[in-house]
Amino acid sequence: MNASYHHGDLRSATLQLGMERLESQEQPELGLRALARDLGVSATALYRHFPNKDALLDALALEGLNRLGRNQAEAGAAAGGGRAGFAEVGATYVDWAVEHPALLRLIYTRVGKVDVDIDDPSAMGEAFHQLRKGIAAAMPEGLTPEDRTVATLRAWSLVHGLAMLILDGQVDYDPAMVRNIVRTSVVTPAKAP
């Protein structure tokens, strides 16, 4: 793609081009010089926004988490919130992973250790905020902090594990099955012993 860059927000344009490459190329070229060339700017201009390739990859991963989170928020709201909304947030995670496998894999090579007790979207991305918000809406009142952590990890493990089984070809992707698995798990929440 030769999307020559002329004006506006270079950082956003770079992230957009990076996302497009993640979606369309089996081995995406995400080098800063290649991106700068295709945007029609000098590498020096791009280095002002991303001092190195790691900074670019981190920004792409966070942008991916935010896009996932926005999709989850829309799906949860469309389902009416509460447990039904939380189930749809989980199913949307799996659907999104199937639609964006390279981006999902990039996210989990860049995010590092996750503190599921942080509810700050700027720190962990909107997808983690949706997970915490869904736990609060779907789980019974009076959960202890330990119960909430267990419920959060259980929900995340379920959808991430299911997504990876599908992406690795171990399970066929069936959206109805995904929703049934997630819905059944949300209806019978686990409580820490």
Q: For position 149, what pLDDT does the model report?
A: 83
* 59 shares a domain with 31: no
* 160 shares a domain with 111: yes
Q: 39: domain CATH number?
A: 1.10.10
Predicted confidence band of residue 157 (pLDDT cuts 50, 70, 90) = very high
In a domain, residue 4? The reply is no
| Cα–Cα distance, 133 to 114 (Å, whole number) | 16
* 162 shares a domain with 144: yes
Q: Kindly report which listed range (30-34, 69-73, 150-154) carries the lowest average pLDDT score.
A: 150-154
The number of domains in the chain is: 2
* 148 shares a domain with 82: yes
Predicted confidence band of residue 188 (pLDDT cuts 50, 70, 90) = low
The predicted model scores a pTM of: 0.83
Predicted confidence band of residue 73 (pLDDT cuts 50, 70, 90) = very high
Is the model's pLDDT at 75 over the cut of 60? yes
In a domain, residue 167? The reply is yes
Conformation bin of residue 13: beta by default, left when phi > 0, alpha when psi is -120 to 50: alpha
Predicted confidence band of residue 83 (pLDDT cuts 50, 70, 90) = confident
Is the model's pLDDT at 6 over the cut of 60? no
Mean pLDDT of the chain: 85
* 87 shares a domain with 32: no
In a domain, residue 58? The reply is yes
Range of the domain at 31: 10-51
| Cα–Cα distance, 185 to 100 (Å, whole number) | 24
* 129 shares a domain with 78: yes
* 118 shares a domain with 91: yes
In a domain, residue 3? The reply is no
* 92 shares a domain with 174: yes
Structure tokens at 118: 């942080």
Quick one: 59 exposed, middle or buried, by C-beta within 10 A (0-12, 13-18, 19+)? middle
* 128 shares a domain with 102: yes
Q: For position 68, what pLDDT does the model report?
A: 92
Predicted confidence band of residue 192 (pLDDT cuts 50, 70, 90) = very low
Is the model's pLDDT at 14 over the cut of 90? yes
In a domain, residue 112? The reply is yes
